Structures are given as structure tokens and as C-alpha cells.
């Protein structure tokens, strides 16, 4: 991956790894799309047809492109975050994204308020990394305060999302790649500054 993580880059596509690990010589992501082909068929039609809603297509493509369906994913999430997911509103089906952000104790301090030293925090394997992966503490005999925030950004105005023309094959793979690349751009643009401010 050529693009490095930054304070506002939360997600990125790893096309090089995807191509290198593709058993068909084209895309590992495409193989996972094939295994999850039912997600991309219109459930309301008797004859096989692709879903027609770009938001629905984006949600399904993103789900397949990210962990835990693909591990490592076609879309990678910054290591210090606990996931970036896409959803459609239950009421009007509008698209939105959620970023799960672990908050370490120093992010929660206000004025003189500090937690006792004995209270455990999120742990990192490597503290020298700029965005270390944060995990629950292994010790269970001491209290732990493990806080996190959900940053939600609307995607109803995101332009360029693909209306799919296929529910399988190379065309599905190309359209899914295009859609998740667009979502990556918008998530970084819209949620990136919020996450940066939250963690500053």
C-alpha cells in the first residue's frame, strides 16, 4: 500500500495485495464477491437481476470488502480504530457511515479530572507506532475503563456511487471496486476531520 495513514486517513484500498493474492489473477476481492453473490441479487424479482439501489449496493460491497468477511480486507481500516461500517437508515434508507473510535483515558480528562492509575486502559502491542492497534487489557483482576465513541456521517449526498448492472462476474467486481473506492474517499473527507479532532 502506497498511501500512509494520517490523522484524517481512516480507510484505504489495498489493490496491490488484492491482485497479488488473487487466485484468478485479477482480484481476491472478486472471489469474496462470488462467495457472497446472493447479497447482490434483487430479492424482489423472480428472475435473477442486480440490486438497483446504489446505497444498498454500497453497503453490501463495503461489507464484503472489509473485515471480518475479508481478513485482511480489500479496504483496510486504520489500526487504532475499531471498524468503519456502512448502513442504510431504517426509515428512509439513506446511506450513512459509522466509525468506531476507542478513546484512551487521556482523551477523557477534563481539567483536573483523572482516573486512578490502577484503572486499566486500552492496550497497544507497540506504542511507538503512529496509530497502534488498541485491544482490551489481558488482566481481569483490576478494574478497566474502556471508552469508545461512534462517529456517524451521512452519505445521502455522496455522488458517484454505482448503480450496478451485474450481480456476478468481472463486471460486479469492477463496479464494487469503484463503489468502495468512492466510499473510502468520502469517509476520509467527512469523518476524518471529526476523528482527528476527537483524538487531538
| pLDDT average, residue stretch 37-45 | 87
Lowest mean pLDDT among 36-50, 133-147, 153-167: 36-50
Identify the pLDDT of residue 133.
Answer: 94
Is the full-model pTM beyond 0.75? yes
The C-alpha cell of 64 is what? Answer: 464484503
- Encode pLDDT of 57-113 as tens digits: 999 999 999 999 999 999 999 999 999 999 999 999 999 999 999 999 999 987 778
d(CA 64, CA 60): 6
Identify the pLDDT of residue 129.
Answer: 83
d(CA 58, CA 61): 5
- Encode pLDDT of 172-186 as tens digits: 999 999 999 999 999
Amino acid at each position: 500500500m502506497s498511501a500512509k495513514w494520517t490523522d484524517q486517513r481512516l480507510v484505504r484500498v489495498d489493490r496491490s495485495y488484492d491482485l497479488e493474492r488473487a487466485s484468478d489473477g485479477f482480484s481476491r476481492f472478486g472471489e469474496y464477491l462470488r462467495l457472497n453473490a446472493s447479497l447482490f441479487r434483487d430479492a424482489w424479482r423472480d428472475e435473477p437481476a442486480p440490486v438497483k439501489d446504489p446505497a444498498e449496493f454500497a453497503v453490501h460491497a463495503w461489507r464484503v470488502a472489509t473485515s471480518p468477511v475479508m481478513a485482511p480486507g480489500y479496504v483496510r481500516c486504520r489500526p487504532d480504530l475499531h471498524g468503519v461500517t456502512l448502513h442504510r437508515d431504517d426509515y428512509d434508507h439513506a446511506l450513512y457511515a459509522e466509525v468506531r473510535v476507542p478513546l484512551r483515558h487521556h482523551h477523557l480528562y477534563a481539567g483536573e479530572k483523572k482516573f486512578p492509575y490502577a484503572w486499566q486502559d486500552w492496550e497497544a502491542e507497540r506504542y511507538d507506532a503512529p496509530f497502534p492497534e488498541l485491544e482490551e487489557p489481558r488482566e481481569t483482576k483490576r478494574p478497566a475503563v474502556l471508552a469508545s465513541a461512534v462517529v456517524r456521517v451521512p452519505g445521502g449526498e455522496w455522488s458517484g456511487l454505482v448503480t450496478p448492472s451485474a450481480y456476478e462476474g468481472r463486471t460486479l467486481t469492477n463496479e464494487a471496486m469503484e463503489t468502495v473506492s468512492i466510499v473510502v474517499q468520502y469517509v476520509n473527507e467527512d469523518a476524518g476531520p471529526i476523528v482527528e479532532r476527537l483524538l487531538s
